[in-house]
């Protein structure tokens, strides 16, 4: 039987399929950004403005897009980033995403606001799995979750530090996207007009578990833990983000976590250096896909500065807006060791569960390999600043040292903020 997912030629096609299947509220939760969506737009504009500079006649018949990340080999320079809503997009989407990542040989990050128990995702998903932690109102309680993820066996902990308070997501407020949700006339109409989602996702939860998805990976204090207390009000109160976190807290997490520790949501080079000083092994350079601070700096623009400041001390992953294999190669050329994807994988799983997630990764795989050929690169390690042209900075090349060597023209040019 032919795979219907093959008709999705790119991530934008998967997005369209997901949009058709999901309710407006769930789709916009995945798809839209905070406030005026300026960060979201500029994440894309910055990536689009960077050009790749092909080198020719390099015999690219044997291309390897594999990387080594934290001492482990992976088939692609990609990571599936944490997306808390995944369980509302597809029944047990976390397992589907983990399986797709495992099949492709890339790491999967389970969000703390996921709706499948972390132990189950680890057991059923397989592969390389990382656990992402948000710190809620009770910062001590969050350390309980760190210990649980450690005992469960996650290979890395990803501590998200860019969300000290609630995001101003006006689209969600208008759509009434509350978690746990309340049934309103608006949400009932939205659900009933999307029967594939209503039956295939919500119906399956109700059939299998007799209830809607919850948050089994967040430690609730005793007064909120009992099922009868699991009301929107109490959960929302307990889940208020914690605005007291500081570098000492990161040090405490470091002391508790024996394996790879990654700090997610770094945009300033000095913060990258501080994260390294606190013992982090890696960082994710991110503006949270434009979901938090709409006026945030753009990760791909900050990346070269961060790589210059801390690249020799930290593994650097970048995200926010990556939709094409060529985007991934731009990130790697500008100093990242890997690129994380959020929405691209969500669109896939929202369109068709594990098959859709596999398709999303396969699209990146094909695009990365094709782009490597087109720019004359055989392996990821040989990507450098010489492979990119930054906006407004067409390199001026001196005479090559010898007839066949590359000029290395980009090395001396400072990275400048993109003019729009
Ligand atoms: C719907 C959605 C939910 C997300 N949930 C989380 C989360 O629970 N924890 C977190 O650290 N980041 C979360 N993120 C941010 C992603 O991990 C990642 O930084 C971002 O999606 C990358 O940009 P991209 O979506 O353009 O690929 C979420 C992003 C989206 C779109």
pLDDT in tens, 14-24: 999 999 999 99
Residue 410 above 60 pLDDT?
Answer: no
- Rounded Cα–Cα distance for residues 48 and 52 (Å): 10
Q: Tell me which of 179 and 249 has the higher pLDDT.
A: 249
- When mean pLDDT is compared over 176-190, 215-229, 304-318, the highest value belongs to 304-318
Mean pLDDT of 346-365: 98
Alpha helix locations (H) across 105-202?
A: 118-125, 139-152, 170-175, 185-192, 195-197
Instruction: Report which ligand 1 atom has the smallest distance to the Cα of 160.
Output: 11
pLDDT at 228: 44
pLDDT at 407: 44
Burial of 169 (0-12, 13-18, 19+ CB in 10 A): buried
Segment (H or E) for 316: strand 315-318
Is-contact 316 336, C-beta < 8 A? yes
Residue 233 above 70 pLDDT?
Answer: no
Mean pLDDT of 352-374: 98
Catalytic residue, chosen from 74, 194, 268, 288, is 288
Question: Which of 113, 118, 322, 342 to mutate for ligand 1's pocket (most ligand atoms within 8 Å of CB)?
Answer: 342
Instruction: Report which ligand 1 atom has the smallest distance to the Cα of 284.
Output: 19
The CB of 83 under 6 Å from ligand 1? The reply is yes
pLDDT at 168: 85
Kindly report the average pLDDT of the chain as a whole number. Answer: 90
Nearest CA to ligand 1 atom 26: 321
Instruction: Report which ligand 1 atom has the smallest distance to the Cα of 320.
Output: 23
pLDDT at 151: 98
pLDDT at 108: 98
Residue 413 above 50 pLDDT?
Answer: no
The CB of 291 under 6 Å from ligand 1? The reply is yes
Residue 172: count of CB within 10 angstroms of its CB: 18
Which tens digits make up the pLDDT trace of 310-342? 999 999 999 999 999 999 999 999 999 999 999
CA 147 from chain center: how many Å?
23
- Rounded Cα–Cα distance for residues 253 and 256 (Å): 5
- CA 52 to ligand 1 center in whole angstroms: 26
pLDDT at 262: 98
pLDDT at 325: 98
The CB of 342 under 6 Å from ligand 1? The reply is yes
Which tens digits make up the pLDDT trace of 278-315? 999 999 999 999 999 999 999 999 999 999 999 999 99
For 35, the token pair is: 């406030």
Per DSSP, the chain holds a count of helices (H) and strands (E) of 18, 12
pLDDT at 417: 47
Is-contact 317 340, C-beta < 8 A? yes
- CA 346 to ligand 1 center in whole angstroms: 9
Nearest CA to ligand 1 atom 14: 83
Nearest CA to ligand 1 atom 5: 83
Nearest CA to ligand 1 atom 12: 82
User: Closest Cα to residue 52, out of 375, 300, 370, 305?
Assistant: 375
- CA 82 to ligand 1 center in whole angstroms: 6
- Rounded Cα–Cα distance for residues 331 and 382 (Å): 13
Residue 95 above 50 pLDDT?
Answer: yes
- Rounded Cα–Cα distance for residues 159 and 398 (Å): 45
- CA 55 to ligand 1 center in whole angstroms: 34
Which tens digits make up the pLDDT trace of 96-155? 999 999 999 999 999 999 999 999 999 999 999 999 999 988 899 899 999 999 999 999
pLDDT at 79: 98
Question: Which of 288, 324, 327, 344 to mutate for ligand 1's pocket (most ligand atoms within 8 Å of CB)?
Answer: 288
- CA 85 to ligand 1 center in whole angstroms: 9
Residue 288: active-site member: yes
- CA torsion sign for 319, 320, 322, 323 is positive
Contacts of 219 (CB under 8 A, 6+ apart): 138, 141, 142, 144, 145, 148
The CB of 30 under 6 Å from ligand 1? The reply is yes
């Amino acid at each position: 039987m032919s795979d219907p997912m093959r008709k999705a030629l790119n991530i934008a096609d998967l997005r369209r399929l997901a949009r058709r299947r999901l309710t407006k509220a769930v789709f916009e939760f995945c798809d839209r950004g905070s406030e005026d969506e300026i960060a979201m737009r500029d994440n894309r504009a910055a990536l689009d403005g960077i050009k790749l500079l092909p080198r020719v006649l390099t015999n690219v018949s044997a291309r390897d897009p594999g990387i080594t990340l934290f001492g482990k080999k992976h088939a692609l320079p990609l990571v599936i980033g944490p997306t808390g809503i995944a369980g509302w997009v597809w029944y047990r989407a976390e397992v589907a995403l983990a399986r797709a990542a495992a099949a492709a040989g890339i790491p999967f990050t389970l969000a703390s606001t996921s709706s499948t128990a972390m132990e189950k995702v680890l057991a059923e998903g397989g592969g390389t799995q990382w656990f992402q932690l948000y710190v809620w109102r009770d910062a001590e309680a969050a350390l309980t979750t760190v210990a649980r993820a450690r005992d469960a066996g996650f290979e890395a902990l990803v501590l998200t530090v860019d969300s000290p308070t609630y995001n101003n997501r006006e689209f969600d407020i208008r759509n009434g996207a509350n978690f746990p949700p309340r049934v309103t006339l608006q949400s009932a109409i939205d659900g009933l007009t999307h029967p594939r989602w209503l039956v295939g996702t919500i119906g399956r939860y109700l059939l299998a578990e007799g209830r809607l998805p919850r948050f089994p990976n967040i430690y609730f204090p005793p007064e909120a833990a009992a099922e009868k207390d699991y009301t929107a009000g109490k959960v929302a109160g307990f889940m208020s983000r914690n605005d007291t976190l500081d570098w000492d807290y990161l040090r405490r997490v470091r002391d508790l976590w024996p394996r790879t520790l990654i700090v997610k949501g770094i945009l300033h080079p000095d913060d990258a250096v501080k994260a390294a000083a606190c013992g982090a092994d890696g960082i994710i350079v991110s503006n949270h896909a434009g979901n938090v601070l709409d006026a945030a700096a753009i990760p791909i623009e900050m990346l070269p500065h961060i790589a210059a400041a801390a690249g020799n001390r930290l593994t650097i992953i970048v995200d926010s807006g990556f939709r094409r294999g060529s985007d991934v190669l731009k990130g790697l050329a500008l100093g990242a060791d890997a690129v994380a994807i959020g929405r691209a994988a969500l669109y896939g799983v929202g369109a068709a569960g594990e098959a859709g997630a596999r398709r999303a990764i396969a699209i990146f795989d094909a695009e990365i390999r094709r782009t490597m050929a087109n720019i004359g690169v055989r392996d990821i390690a040989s990507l450098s600043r010489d492979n990119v042209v930054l906006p407004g900075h067409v390199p001026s090349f001196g005479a090559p040292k010898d007839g066949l060597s590359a000029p290395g023209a980009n090395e001396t040019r400072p990275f400048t903020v993109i003019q729009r």
